[in-house]
Amino acid sequence: MDDLTSRAQQDRPAAGLAGAPPDLLGRIRAAVRRPSGTDDRLRTIVRILSEGVAKYTWTGVYLLQGDRLVLHNQVGPATPHETIPIGEGICGLAARQGKTVLVPDVGRNPSYLACSHTTRSEIVVPILKEGRVIGEIDVDSDRLDAFDDGDRRLLEETARLLSACL
- Cα 73 to Cα 18, 31, 56, 79, 117: the distances in Å are 26, 16, 15, 11, 20
Closest CA to 20 of 125, 159, 154: 154
Task: Report if residue 125 touches ligand SME, rule: CB under 6 A.
Answer: no
Of the pair 36, 116, the CB lying nearest ligand SME is at 116
> Strand, coil or helix: what is 24?
helix
DSSP 22: T
| Smallest distance from ligand SME to CB 105, Å | 13
Q: 32 vs 91, which CB is nearer to ligand SME?
A: 91
From the list 81, 96, 143, 160, which residue makes contact with ligand SME (rule: CB under 6 A)?
Answer: 81
CA distances for 39 relative to 63, 81, 124, angstroms: 11, 20, 20
Does 55 participate in binding ligand SME (rule CB under 6 A)?
no
Report the length, in residues, of the chain.
166
Residue type, 114: A
In angstroms, the CA 128 to CA 149 distance is 19
* Residue 143 near ligand SME by CB under 6 A: no
Tell whether residue 158 is a contact of ligand SME (CB under 6 A): no
Q: For the CB of residue 8, give the shortest distance to ligand SME in the complex, in Å.
A: 24
In the set 45, 84, 133, 161, which binds ligand SME (CB under 6 A)? 84
Task: Note whether 91 binds ligand SME by CB under 6 A.
Answer: yes
Contact positions toward ligand SME, by CB under 6 A? 58, 60, 79, 81, 84, 89-91, 112-113, 115, 122, 138, 140
